[in-house]
Chain A
Amino acid sequence: MAVLVVADNDNAHLRDGTHKTVTAALKLSGEVDVLVLGQGVSGVAAEAAKIAGVRKVLVSESEALGHGIAEAEADAVLAVAGAYDAILVPATSGGKNFAPRVAAKLDVAPISDIVEVVSADTFTRPIYAGNALETVQTSDAKKVITVRPTAFAAAGEGGSAPIETVGGADAAKTRFVSEEMVKSDRPELAAAKIVVSGGRAMGSAEEFSAVIEPLADKLGAAVGASRAAVDAGYAPNDYQVGQTGKVVAPSLYIAIGISGAIQHLAGMKDSKIIVAINKDADAPIFQIADYGLVADYKSAVPDLMNALTAAGK
């Protein structure tokens, strides 16, 4: 069986979700091709060709593909879909945007956000904000699946797959207007080994930056936030960790001033070690935290900074 993985990229570089989706694809079959969509993506294609286990890299370029417009992305995937039994897409905002469109055009039921490949037609995925795991078996001949990157290890390097150019695609009814990306020198949230997250307790955007960012920088961590902190305007939208934001699974997740609502836990409860700092000893976050400090963040975070310095960090 042949499997197509659609790469996640920003036109300049491959994103980590691609390597993880290749791992899921290799559990299905040894015949895994990667499709790179974008504009000016020869560098991305070269990176994809180096992923171990990849048989071939297809490159589809056009202006609409460079801006991640779903109609064009779905059409580009459909143009090559005939040769594949399964199409796997990283469950990022871009992947979730076009994958269901591909499925509808193929008249198949998409399987969203899988966390496990049980067999070639059976997959496990979280439902109800991660409070239940559903195992489904598909009867569709062609499968369209989005893969939760944090649930799979990244495929290694060392491959040397040939690169082939295929046709681009256009989106006649949609025009790109502008984009506004949050600039950050910190590691990407979804791929970071350590995440420091702040909640509503911070009280203001200034306080959020003053408390959370220095700690994150000291640890080389990415910054996350609860929905409450994002809704209150303390942190940008794309910092949000949870059912409706990003799903992370770092080695260390430090939740500061976050109560631990169901929807937040859905985004971080697979972290290896969870640390909670909260002055409310009854906050639900303590029920899943490996280590908890019942303390006001105003004293606990400076103490933690000092302790890290003392420990040579």
Chain B
Amino acid sequence: MKVLVPVKRVIDYNVKVRVKPDQTGVDLANVKMSMNPFCEIAVEEAVRLKEKGAADEVVIVSIGPQQAQETIRTALAMGGDRGILITTDADPEPLAVAKLLAAVVAEEQPNLVLMGKQAIDGDNNAVGQMLSALLGWPQATYASAIEVSGATAKVTREVDGGLQTLDVDLPAVVTADLRLNEPRYASLPNIMKAKKKEIAAKTVADYGVDVAPRLKVVKVAEPAKRSAGVKLESATDLVSKLKTAGVL
């Protein structure tokens, strides 16, 4: 079985983002970038499927600037077999990303696409669902456990109120939630070995997909700041403040 894992290069999750003063976006100059945390979980799960013998090849794909190659190398150091980098200077919307990934799927014919449930920059939580819709495949989002057996996969999903288990026919798109696994750190020897793994260089034009944005960003603003609060001495003070504020 072949597993395709899309990964995204995003601002590191520990960085406190700053909105540009001209409100055109978020300042990404000289900011630490990393692999989206949910993508790391997807890579880890794909590598575990390979280690269990359920998968025989793990292909990593990323769409973004040339530097996204580093993100692919990280995934290869975790155990991915080879990479595909589709370079673009634009920041494609989820619809365009889903269309590009559908074109990659047509070429690669994977049995499973395993990806993160959302990227922590756009917070859209859409690409996996859109990809499966374009392919006419079943989807299993927010996975916290995946069990592949033959032509189907049993996936436990995190839903409001608890957990739900679905059985989906393969090929399918599965999106990873936080508790699916604990991603491994790439060891130094594996980082060195990953440098020799192949990354196919592609461009958006190779796939003939229209990536023109459908949404125009009018502005990006800072959220309203909360006014500074007070530290109180005792629980009694706290209760009387809350009573005065009318929330008790």
With A237-B144, A293-B231 known as contacts, the answer to whether A93 contacts B160 (CB < 8 A) is yes
B230 touches A179 (CB 8 A): no
Q: Does B248 contact A (CB under 8 A)?
A: yes
> Which residues on B sit within 8 Å (CB–CB) of A113?
123, 125
A231 touches B178 (CB 8 A): yes
Q: Give the complex CA separation of A272 and B247 in angstroms.
A: 9
Nearest CB of B to A106, in Å:
10
Interface string of B117-135 (1 = CB under 8 A from A): 1101111111111111110
A136 touches B138 (CB 8 A): no
Nearest CB of B to A97, in Å:
5
Shortest 6 CB-CB distances between A and B: which pairs? A109-B214, A100-B126, A104-B130, A303-B235, A100-B129, A104-B133
A173 touches B138 (CB 8 A): yes
B242 touches A275 (CB 8 A): yes
Q: Give the complex CA separation of A136 and B93 in angstroms.
A: 12
Q: Does B51 contact A (CB under 8 A)?
A: no
Q: Give the complex CA separation of A259 and B159 in angstroms.
A: 26
> Which residues on A sit within 8 Å (CB–CB) of B196?
none
B17 touches A128 (CB 8 A): yes
With A69-B166, A126-B123, A290-B229 known as contacts, the answer to whether A231 contacts B161 (CB < 8 A) is no
Q: Give the complex CA separation of A304 and B137 in angstroms.
A: 53
Q: Does A273 contact B (CB under 8 A)?
A: yes
A: which residues have CB within 8 A of B?
10, 67-71, 74, 92-94, 96-105, 107-113, 118, 122, 125-140, 171, 173-182, 190, 194, 219, 227, 230-231, 236-238, 243-244, 246, 251-252, 262-263, 269, 272-275, 281, 286-294, 300, 303-304, 306-308, 310-311, 313
Q: Does B81 contact A (CB under 8 A)?
A: no
Contacts A97-B141, A174-B140 supplied; 17 other A-B pairs, CB < 8 Å = A99-B126, A108-B95, A113-B125, A127-B220, A130-B223, A131-B223, A137-B218, A138-B216, A176-B164, A177-B167, A182-B162, A237-B158, A237-B179, A252-B242, A252-B247, A272-B247, A291-B238
Q: Give the complex CA separation of A139 and B216 in angstroms.
A: 8
Nearest CB of B to A77, in Å:
12
Q: Does B232 contact A (CB under 8 A)?
A: yes
| Nearest neighbor of B126 in chain A, beta-carbon distance | A100
| Nearest neighbor of A275 in chain B, beta-carbon distance | B238
With A109-B214, A252-B248 known as contacts, the answer to whether A286 contacts B133 (CB < 8 A) is no
A291 touches B229 (CB 8 A): yes
B214 touches A262 (CB 8 A): no
| Nearest neighbor of A112 in chain B, beta-carbon distance | B124
> Which residues on A sit within 8 Å (CB–CB) of B187?
none
| Nearest neighbor of A71 in chain B, beta-carbon distance | B138
> Which residues on A sit within 8 Å (CB–CB) of B222?
131-133
| Nearest neighbor of A240 in chain B, beta-carbon distance | B178
> Which residues on B sit within 8 Å (CB–CB) of A231?
178-179
> Which residues on B sit within 8 Å (CB–CB) of A176?
164-167
Q: Give the complex CA separation of A310 and B221 in angstroms.
A: 44
Q: Give the complex CA separation of A117 and B231 in angstroms.
A: 36
With A103-B126, A139-B214 known as contacts, the answer to whether A173 contacts B137 (CB < 8 A) is yes
Q: Does B185 contact A (CB under 8 A)?
A: no
| Nearest neighbor of B20 in chain A, beta-carbon distance | A132
With A292-B232, A310-B236, A311-B240 known as contacts, the answer to whether A92 contacts B247 (CB < 8 A) is no
> Which residues on A sit within 8 Å (CB–CB) of B125?
96, 100, 112-113
Nearest CB of B to A163, in Å:
25
| Nearest neighbor of A193 in chain B, beta-carbon distance | B247
> Which residues on B sit within 8 Å (CB–CB) of A182?
161-162
